[in-house]
Structure 1
Amino acid sequence: MITLALVGDVMLGRLVNQRLKTMSADEVWGDVLPQFAAADLRIGNLECALTEHRPQWERTRKVFHFRAAPSAVRVLRAAHIDAVSLANNHTLDFEEQGLLDTITHLDKAGIRHAGAGHNLETATATALIPVKGQQVALIAVTDNEPAFAASATTPGTHYLPVSTDGETLDYVEGLIRRARDEGADLVVFSNHWGPNMVNRPSALFRRFAHAVIERGADVYYGHSAHLFQGVEIHRGKPILYSTGDFVDDYAVDPWLHNDWSFLFQVGMEGGLLRRLVLYPVLLTVAHVRRAEPPERPLICKRMRELSAELGTMLHEEHGILSWQAGSISVPA
């Protein structure tokens, strides 16, 4: 069995970048480092540019621009992050140069990446990660910021609008088939998609995620909403509609609670989900930690209810949620 640790948005800019001047990289991850260490592979969505380039993207209107010093890559290394998605709405916040610098610093740190590149060919390329004698493929797309999309000759992101039309799904199937041809034993499909601050996927998003699994992906790994959403098991494979935030400096909505999240441990064997463990966490500026009462039961309750709506019954024990192959999961 291969165990993946998947987390949502990791934003190392603004106040996080400032805090890193006086705190160690380990401090950012608090007491969740053992959960990272227990996994065979660790993946996150890097929600900022790693660059000293200061001119901001101004070709289209953007409210927020996220940039961290290149030295912030040490935070990713502290958690032994193996790969990141760059297909999101912040990788070009500091123009194409910011993206190219990010790629350079990740490459130097030995962290694989997918979803953005020097041109369309590299932006759409699969990241292959060797794990326990197998190859795990990371495919990363986003429906955010169409102006950031790579072209045949310009840097940018792997842009893919969410649609269940035949052309889009054939394109997705082609991406997955290419990953298999390149040697992938397990395919993780990452998508930075949809609107912010929603805790349920739309009917279209559910149909699209189902179709991606049916076209050959093994794990659907979503993010962007800034809130966690329920998990679904479709044809024996996990769909994580939104993994929420994980490291940031964001203002907290007192009702929606974007400071509540999870570290998702996904155990896959033979292309099927064998075990899913969800560790509830609480986020503060530049810091994540395991949730404790009084927040922990509330976080778990929300996830259990959202997942039950999708037909997934999660078991709670000692403040940790889990699903085991053979447990009840009914069609929603």
Structure 2
Amino acid sequence: MSVRIGLTGDVMLGRLVDERQRQRPVTAVWGDLLGRLASLDGLFVNLECCLSTRGRPWRRTPHAFHFRADPAWALPALERAGVDCCALANNHVLDFEEPALLDTLDWLTDSGIAYAGAGRTRHAAFRPTTVAVDGVTVAFVSLTDNTPEYAATATTPGTAHVEIDTASDQTRAAVAETLARAQATDPDLLIASLHWGPNMVEKPPPAHRAFARWLVDAGVDIVHGHSAHVFQGIEVYDGRPILYDTGDFVDDYAVDGRLRNDRSFLFEVGVSDAGTPRELRLSPTEIRDCAVHAADPVTVQWSRERMESLSAPFGTAFERDGPGLVVGLGQ
């Protein structure tokens, strides 16, 4: 495997994480994983907050939580971890209204961190981005079915919002256009990052399975799902990994004692020089003190067994390698 591409679940740097980070080194949010993250050839995350000190909490519709991180520490933290690209199509990027969203776009641009899934107009929000990863050109698309009131319009900023429904002509047209724009860049690898479905759901619904397979049939190489706050099973379809939900990577959320939303993985895809996925490696992680850490032995055992159980219905079988899990992708 010549290129290692890392993917994570939600990276929420606001609220208590933001408060803690103001009193400690910027890299503390990555716990003992900083070296591992920085060693990857590429790193793609769902940024579950806005980066700004401006704006006011969204009150136009009911919205219980508002996440905003100070870019003075958050941007250096993202840079030090080697984050190459952020998915912004989610239900928190407009939490502090348009000024904070626009700040987020500008700060990421100024820092050289690519993004997709939000923009100043609908056309911009649906625009794919491309990232050069150690000689492999990666095209990245970000979409969400969450919070339709955050959707960008022809003249207003917002997210790339779609309904997850392959029977919808509107959805198929919007997604097909976005994928065509991505494929026009002649990428070696195409990632579709989806913030989809409700919170604390353990298994993907049939609509998600159908949509993910439709994306692979349309040329997507990696489906990167998130939103549930808990990891879901993994399917390998036509040699392509479908990560239905990658859970939470770092946040300050209350922990469900059964679902354990503080536990997930760093998902690492090994790809060939030509950009073909060859192997998927999962390294167990856990959140403590508003930071992400390599999982302790008890958590490793729980997370591996749970991922194996959740993935079995898809026919996915893992090998154990140290604390992690590995599955070959064939081809």
> One fold, TM greater than 0.5?
yes
Aligned to 2:244: 241
1:309 aligned residue (283, 308, 313): 313
Shift of 1:278: 0.2
- Matched with 1:149 is 151
Superposed displacement of residue 131, structure 1:
1.9
Partner of 2:227: 224
**Matches of 1:150 and 1:41, distance apart in 2:** 28
Q: Residue deviations 1:275-327, cap 9 Å, x none?
A: 11000001123211111222210111001111112111011121110012459
User: Match for residue 277 of structure 2?
Assistant: 273
Question: In structure 2, how many angstroms separate the alpha carbons of the residues matched to 1:193 and 1:16?
Answer: 24
**Farther-moved stretch of structure 1 (101-110 vs 318-327):** 318-327
RMSD between aligned residues: 1.4
Matched residues in 1 for 2:55 and 2:168: separation? 41
Tell me which residue corresponds to 1:250. Answer: 253
Residue 20 of structure 1 is matched in structure 2 by 21
Single out whichever of 74-83 and 28-37 deviates more from structure 2.
28-37
Q: Distance in 2 between matches of 1:271 and 1:22?
A: 41
Query: Are the counterparts in 1 of residues 85 and 114 from structure 2 also a CA contact under 8 Å?
Result: yes
After superposition, the C-alpha distances for 1:157-216 in whole angstroms (9 at most, x for unaligned) are: 000110011622343233222211123221100100001001110111111111111111
Q: CA deviation at 1:132?
A: 2.5
Which has the higher mean CA deviation after the structures are superposed, 8-17 or 287-296?
A: 287-296
Kept in 1, the 8 Å contact 2:131–2:138? The answer is yes
Tell me which amino acid in the other structure corresponds to 1:319.
Answer: P
Structure 1 residue 94, shift from structure 2 partner? 0.3
Between stretches 266-275 and 184-193, larger displacement belongs to 266-275
For 1:89-112, what per-residue CA distance to the aligned partner results, in whole angstroms no more than 9, with x for missing partners? 000000011100111111121111
Q: Shift of residue 5 of structure 1?
A: 0.2
Structure 1 residue 294 corresponds to structure 2 residue 295: no
- TM-score (structure 1 length as normaliser): 0.95
| AA at the equivalent of 2:280 | L
Letter in 1 for 2:147: E
Change (3 A) 1:207 1:161: same
Q: Gaps spanning 5+ residues in structure 1: where?
A: 328-332
Which residue does the alignment assign to 1:318? 322
The CA distance in 1 between the partners of 2:84 and 2:243, in whole Å, is 19
* Alignment correspondent of 1:169: 172
User: How far is 1:33 from its partner?
Assistant: 2.2
CA distance in 1, matches of 2:188, 2:156: 31
The alignment partner of 2:271 has SS state of strand
Residue 128 of structure 1: aligned partner: 130
Q: For residues 161 and 292 of structure 2, what CA distance do their matches in structure 1 show?
A: 30
Which residue in the other structure is 2:110 paired with? 108
Q: What CA distance in whole angstroms lies between the structure 1 residues aligned with 2:210 and 2:117?
A: 22
For residues 233 and 148 of structure 1, what CA distance do their matches in structure 2 show?
32
Q: Deviations over 1:224-275 (max 9, x none)?
A: 0000011110011010000100110000001110011100001123454211
Partner residue in 1 for 2:56: 55
In 1, Cα distance between equivalents of 2:309 and 2:92: 31
Q: Secondary structure at the match of 2:258?
A: coil
After TM superposition, the score normalised by the length of structure 2 is: 0.95
Partners of 1:325 and 1:55 lie apart in 2 by 46
- Higher mean C-alpha displacement, 207-216 vs 37-46: 37-46
Quote the sequence identity (%).
45
Separation in structure 1 between the aligned mates of residue 60 and residue 115 of structure 2, nearest angstrom: 25
- Specify whether residues 293 and 302 from structure 1 end up closer, same or farther in structure 2 by C-alpha distance, changes over 3 A only: same
Q: Indicate the SS of the match to 1:294.
A: helix
SS at match of 2:297: coil
Deviations 1:124-143 (A, max 9, x none): 11111012233201100000
- Uncovered stretches (5+) of structure 2, i.e. residues with no partner: none
Secondary structure at the counterpart of residue 257 of structure 2: coil
Structure 2 SS opposite 1:283: strand
Aligned-partner Cα distance in 1 for 2:316–2:39: 24
CA contact (8 A) 2:222 2:241 kept: yes
The amino acid across from 2:143 in the alignment is V
Aligned length in residues? 327
Letter in 1 for 2:322: H
265-274 or 198-207, which deviates more: 265-274
